[in-house]
Structure 1
Amino acid sequence: MDFLRLPKRTTRTRTYGLTSVADFGVSMGELKNILSDYSHIIDIAKIAIGSAYVTPNLKKKIDLYKEHHITPYCGGTLFEKCYYQNKIPEYLTYLRDLGIEWVEISNGTLDIPLQERLQLVSHLKKDFHVVGEVGSKDPNQEMSISEWVEEIQLFLDAGCDYVLTEGRDSGTAGIYEKCGSIKSDLIQQLIQAIDSKKIIFEAPTSKHQMYFIREVGPNVNLANVKLQDVLALEAQRCGLRSETFYLEEHECQLP
């Protein structure tokens, strides 16, 4: 029964308003239970860090996500490990064998030159959907706001479907200060300069998620969401939490 006036949400299959979860090793049994109830509010599943390489029954997990119309992909750390060991061709074969159609190009741990990453995007977009990640996992490695804007736009121009803003699963690097506070000046510049439908903000905590919902709207793209938090996040998007209570429908739709 629908009787409340709530912010308008995008519906499956979404191109924005995405919720991307981070799977750090949830068991198949637990995952089946979660997806049976909540798959309709999950769009993307990242097999986090490099854990895909040691995940038991990985193909079954990938297939389970796909059965629920959720896009699975491997975390950027696995890409960087393969880059470091000169195993990118083997990595791409590995993804194809798993039936994974999305690949992340990042430099969160390694310092991969920007032009090399852009060349990889141009090459890989022929066979994969590509997500570029901007920002470092090292909280001491700073980028200026203009560098953030330029790099994100370059990735989109090179052919990325989306660009992730680094935030780590702890929310203490990239778009966040070491203490976890949000670099609000950076975020404001990003959403003014770039189509926010093409940016996926890593937002691992409810505090971070509520900030982006208030600043961008309920259809902001959010990543690094914990599987157990997806229903609470959807409630936040719908104005059903104190911090987002007064969101009005006319305020909350991305242009």
Structure 2
Amino acid sequence: MNFLQLPDRTAKPRTYGLTSIIDLGTPYKELKNTLMDYSQYIDVVKFGIGTAYVTPNLKEKIELYKEYHVKPYCGGTFFEKCYFQNKISEYVNYLKQLGIEWIEVSAGTLNIPIQERLNLISQFVKDFHVIAEVGSKDINHQMGVSEWKNEIELLLNAGCDYVITEGRDSGTAGIYDRNGNIKANLISSLLEDLDYRKIIFEAPTPKQQMFFINEIGPNVNVGNVKLSDVLVLETQRRGLRCETFFMEEQASTILT
């Protein structure tokens, strides 16, 4: 029954308007119950902070996500650990054995030069969909606006499907200050020249999510969403929460 006029939402399989959740160890049975009800609102899942390496029943969880048409991948910290120990080939084989078709390239912990990341991406795109992340987890490492734009453009031109703007699972780094406040001027500058449909904005808290919905529209790509917040996020996207209640109609993205 649909009788309200609400902002248009893209439908699965989406290419934008993505909700990317972070899995930090959700038990299999709990996950299955949640996906049965809410998988229509989930597009991508990241096994965060290296948890994929120690998660029980990982293969079964990956298969469950794929059964519900949610794309799984391992977070950048796992990738960087493998890079640091010169285990990239082993990492690639590991992902293939698990049936994971997406790979993240990041430099959130290690200072991996952009050219080195581009070289790795040129290898990965032969076998994977690639997501790259821009920004550091170190709050003291500040990037200028031009550096943000340049890296995002280079990574997309190298063949990445999407680029993630760093925010951590705490929302206190990258596009945020140490108190979790959004660097609004940075976001505004990025949106001037870049296609928001190719950027996933890490926004782990409802307050941060609502900023991007009001700034960009209901079909903004949002990442690092907690599994327990999926329905709340969709409610926000539909203008059914106070803070997004009066979302202007032009904020709705044009469906393609």
Give yes or no for contact 2:102–2:128 (8 Å, CA) kept in 1. yes
Q: Alignment partner of 2:163: what SS?
A: strand
2:120 is matched with: 120
2:200 is matched with: 200
Q: Does 1:231 align with 2:246?
A: no
| Amino acid of the structure 2 residue aligned with 1:122 | S
User: What's the CA shift string for 1:213-251, capped at 9, x where partnerless?
Assistant: 000000000000000000000000000000000113333
Query: 1:252: Cα distance to partner?
Result: 1.7
Give yes or no for contact 1:219–1:254 (8 Å, CA) kept in 2. no
Determine what percentage of the aligned residue pairs are the same residue.
64
TM-score, normalised by the number of residues in structure 2:
0.98
Matches within 5 A, 1:19-168: 19-168=19-168
User: What's the CA shift string for 1:80-139, capped at 9, x where partnerless?
Assistant: 000000000000000000000000000100111110001111111011000000000000
User: What's the CA shift string for 1:16-47, capped at 9, x where partnerless?
Assistant: 00000000001001001110100000000101
Structure 1 vs Structure 2 CA RMSD: 0.8
TM-score, normalised by the number of residues in structure 1:
0.99
Give yes or no for contact 1:43–1:69 (8 Å, CA) kept in 2. yes
| Amino acid of the structure 2 residue aligned with 1:145 | V
1:176 is matched with: 176
2:185 is matched with: 185
Query: 1:254: Cα distance to partner?
Result: 5.0
Name the CA distance, whole Å, in 1 between partners of 2:122 and 2:198: 17
1:13 is matched with: 13
Name the CA distance, whole Å, in 2 between partners of 1:254 and 1:3: 21
Structure 1, 245-254 or 74-83: larger mean CA deviation: 245-254
Q: Alignment partner of 1:223: what SS?
A: strand
Structure 1, 30-39 or 242-251: larger mean CA deviation: 242-251
Name the CA distance, whole Å, in 1 between partners of 2:167 and 2:227: 17
Gapped regions of structure 1 (runs ≥ 5): none
Q: Are the structure 2 counterparts of residues 189 and 136 from structure 1 closer, same or farther at C-alpha, using a change threshold of 3 Å?
A: same
Count of residue pairs brought into register by the alignment: 255
